[in-house]
Structure 1
Amino acid sequence: MALITDERGGVLVDAGHSPGHAREIRGALVAAGLPEPRWLVYTHHHWDHVWGACAWPGVEIVGHVAGEAPLRAEAARPWSHRYLREQVRAEPRLGPSFRARALAMDSWDDFAVLPPTRTFTDELELPTGVRLRHVGGRHAPDSTVVLVPDSAVMLLGDCFYPPPVHLRQDGDGPDLALVHRLLDDGYQWYVSSHADPMTLDEARAAVEG
C-alpha cells in the first residue's frame, strides 16, 4: 500500500488485505494528520490488494478493465470461514491463498468485495498528476503500475511476480524482462508490493545481473 497526497487530494494505492487492515491504515493516517484519500487505485484484483476496500468510504475506486469481471465474480461468492474450508477441500491448491484469507479476516460482518467504480484500458492520469499504466503480465492480466512523476517513484504492485501458487507451473519465476521494460531514467525509485524499495541502479543490477 502507498498514499500519495498533496493539496489536490490523496491517492491510495491498494486497499489492504482486509477491512481490519484498512482500518489500521486509516488510523495511522489520522494520527499523522493526513487527509482521507479521494481515490483508491487497484494495482490488480487479487484479494490481498482489494479486500480492504469496503473500509474506505467515499473513495472513487479505479482499476484496469480486465479486473472488473473477476472482482464481480469474487463479490458474488458467499465468503466465510466455512466457505474457505470447503473450497480448499475441493481444490487443495487453493490452500495457501485461502488459508491466508481466513487468517486476515476476524469478522465477515459488512464485508464486501468491491469492483472498481472507474475503469481504464491503457493509461489514465488522475487530477493529482499520478499516472496509471496497464502492464499486464503473468501474475494478473490487469496488473497496473502507478507513476508518481513529482517524486520520481514507480509503484510496481505485483506485476513481475510469478502467477499465484494455484496457477503456477514448473519454471514460472519473476518476469524480470517486464521490469527491464519499465526502467526509466525519470524514475529513481521502484517499489513492489512485497519487497523493499529499490533505486534505479539497484533495479537495473537486479534485472541485468
Structure 2
Amino acid sequence: MEQKLISLSKAISYLTPVGPTDRPILMSVSGDRHTLMIDGGNSEAHAKLFLEKLHEAGKPQPTLAAVTHWHWDHVFGLSALSVPVISSVDTRREMEKLAVYSWDDAALDQRVNEGIEIPFCANAIREEFPGERDMTIVLPDITFEDELTIDLGGLTCVLKQVGGDHAPDGIVVYIKEERVLFLADAIVPDLYAPSWRFTARETLSLLDKIEAFDAQTYVISHWKAITRQEYVKEADLLRTLAFLVSEHEGDLDHILKELEAHKGEPLEMEEAETADYFVNGYRD
C-alpha cells in the first residue's frame, strides 16, 4: 500500500498509516525555529520514508521528535533519527523494558506464550520485519511528567499525558494555534488484556482530559485526521457505553438495546464491537 503525505496546513503534514504492518501516522509540525516529528515509526524504513516524503514535498526535516506511548509501532523507527527525542517519564520506563528483548521468531513466540506480547503485535512485527531483526531501542533524551509545552517558533505544542486503557503512559499533542490535537491511540481499547477492553472509569477520565483542548481537527494514529463533529460522535459513543455498562452491570443484550434506542437507528458493527469491549472491561 502506497503511503501518502497529507498536508493539514502549511505547518502540519502527516504520512498515512498501513494496516497489515501496523504502521501508524507520523506527523510533522513546523514552526519558525523547530520542526517536531510526532512518533518515531514502527521501523527505520517507516521513519526514513517519512523523512523522504517531507524532503520531496519541500518540507523541513525534524529537529525534535516526541513519542506518544511505548508500543513498538511508535518507537522502533527512532534509531533512524538523529534528533532529541521527548517522551513522558512513564513511556521511557516502559521502553527500557523493550530494550532487553530479542525479536527473533522464537523470542516473540515465547513472550506471546507468557502473555507479555500479544499475537496481533507479534504478527505485525513479522510482517514489517520479514528478515533478520536487529532493532535498536533508542531511549528518549528528554522526559516530562504530566505536561510539557514546546515553542517551535510561532507555533505552540502542548504535550499532555492523558493515559487511558490503551496505554497509561499515553500522551496527546495539541498544536494550539492550529487547533489540531494528535490523539495517537488514546481512544483505542486495551489490546494487552486477556480480551480487548475499555473500562468505564479510564474512558471517562480520558475523555474529560481530551475535552480540555479547544481542537477542531483530531488525528488518530491508525486511521486519519477527523473533524470535531466526527470526534464528538466517537466520544459520545464511548461516554454512552461507559454509562450503560455500569447501569446494566455488563449485560451486553441490555446495553445494545439501549444504545440502539439512544442512537435511533440500527447499530453499526463497530458500535457493537465497542460495546463488547466495555463488557470485557466490566467483567475483567
TM-score (norm 1): 0.88
Root mean square deviation, CA, Å: 2.4
SS in 2 for 1:69: helix
Tell me by how many angstroms 1:7 deviates.
1.9
Residue 205 of structure 1: CA displacement? 2.7
What amino acid maps onto 2:50 in structure 1? I
AA partner of residue 84 (structure 1): L
Q: CA deviation at 1:12?
A: 0.5
Q: Secondary structure of the residue that 2:222 maps to in structure 1?
A: coil
Residue pair 1:84, 1:99 contacting (<8 A) in 2 also: no
Match of 1:79 in 2: 103
2:151 aligns to what SS in structure 1?
A: coil
The number of aligned residues is: 207
Matched, 1:200 2:206: no
Change (3 A) 1:171 1:90: closer
Q: CA deviation at 1:22?
A: 1.0
Give the unaligned 5+ runs of structure 2: 1-25, 238-284
Max radius of gyration: which structure? Answer: 2
Partner of 1:43: 68
Q: Percent identity?
A: 27
The aligned residue for residue 241 of structure 2 is none
Which deviates the most, 175-184 or 100-109? 175-184
**Equivalent pair of 2:181/2:219 in contact (CA under 8 Å):** yes
1:112-140 C-alpha deviation (Å, 9 max, x unpaired): 11221111001101131211011011111
Mapping of residues 107-126 of structure 1, within 5 Å: 108=132, 111-126=135-150
Which of 200, 215, 225 is equivalent to 1:187? 215
Residues 208/26 of structure 1: CA separation in 2 closer, same or farther (3 Å cut): same
SS of the equivalent of 1:102 reads helix
Q: Note if 1:156 corresponds to 2:180.
A: no
Give, in whole Å, the separation in 2 of the partners of 1:107 and 1:38: 31
TM-score normalised according to structure 2 size: 0.66
Deviates more, 1:118-127 or 1:77-86: 77-86
Alignment correspondent of 2:90: 66
Please tell me whether residue 95 in structure 1 is matched to residue 123 in structure 2. no
What is the SS of the residue equivalent to 2:166?
A: coil
Q: Does 1:137 align with 2:164?
A: yes
Alpha carbons 2:88, 2:145 under 8 Å: kept:
yes
Structure with bigger RCO (C-alpha 8 Å, 6+ apart)? 1
Q: Is the 8 A contact 1:176 1:207 kept in 2?
A: no
Instruction: Measure the CA separation in 2 of the matches of 1:3 and 1:132.
Output: 14
User: What does residue 31 of structure 2 align with?
Assistant: 6
Q: Flag the 1:34–1:110 CA change in 2: closer, same or farther, 3 A.
A: farther
- CA distance in structure 2 between the partners assigned to 1:141 and 1:151 by the alignment: 27
